[in-house]
Amino acid sequence: MPPQPTLVIWAAQWRSDQKDVPARETAAWEGIQQYFIRLNCHTEIRAGTALPGDASAFGRVVAVTVRELGPVLRITLPSILEGGTEVVVQIRVFDGRSGAQLADLRTHWQHGGPFFVSGTGSLERDMTEALAAALRQ
């Protein structure tokens, strides 16, 4: 019997003062796609916040909630510039047939450091790398 496909549902829950929401959502979507394409498994990706009615057709359902995706810049004393990007995601994994929750992970992934300044150009790649780090097991 061939393995059942995986369903990925994803949504964003940004803070109220989040800037450039459409661009961040595009980067999140593309980063999620790239991660699962890299796995070379049969995966369907949809926007959503709840298990769909057809979840039983999938072996696993992975629910990704993106809470933060963007560059950060901090100035610390004594005058050190520190920056980079950060991704905050919650990932829940369900058995598709039973709906039972198998895992609930919250990850705060960061890339950068002292004298590192990053823009929004790497957000897609950062999303992919954050998923890889969170789902490494």
What is the CATH number for 40?
3.40.50
- Looking at the domain assignment, is residue 76 inside a domain? no
65 forms beta bridges with 11, 90
Q: Look at the chain and report how many structural domains it folds into.
A: 1
Q: State pTM to two decimals.
A: 0.86
- Looking at the domain assignment, is residue 61 inside a domain? yes
Cα distances (Å, whole numbers) of residue 32 to 10, 43, 47, 114? 9, 11, 11, 28
| Three-class SS state of 134 | helix
Query: Which residues span the domain enclosing 44?
Result: 6-67+86-108+124-134
* One pLDDT digit (tens) per residue for the chain, 137 residues: 567 899 999 999 999 998 899 999 999 999 999 999 888 778 999 999 999 999 999 999 999 999 999 888 777 777 677 788 899 999 999 999 999 999 999 999 988 877 766 766 789 999 999 999 998 85
